[in-house]
Amino acid sequence: MKTDRILAWVALTGGVLATGCISHRETVYRDEPRMKVEFENDTAGRIFYEALSKSAGRFKRSESATEVSLPIIFEHKQRTVSGENAAFNDAVRRCDTNQDGKITEQEARIFADQP
């Protein structure tokens, strides 16, 4: 009789744990405002944007993942992806070497020649 109760309790506990799984997955797209930038002339703007479009794959897109889990009972996964403006802002910071908010033709040419 005692063995039957123990087996019933083990079966019930196992059943509850097997069906009690809570799972949550989330992807968060985080973007930032695009930096305001001026160009010395049209040539500087054209060179900058051409270099930016050619090197779009070069820029690191930031992505992070967080995972928390208790086996069988709880699982939480969150993935955070940075937006396109982050890559643009990074390119502006690298191109505008004196950080005055204005990209000169010379700065744009140097940026375009970077590997």
Q: CB under 8 Å to 49, separation ≥6 — which residues? A: none
The predicted-structure confidence for 54-83, as pLDDT tens digits, reads as follows 876 555 556 667 777 777 677 888 888 878
pTM above 0.85, yes or no: no
Virtual torsion, Cα 43, 47, 53, 54, nearest 10 deg: 150
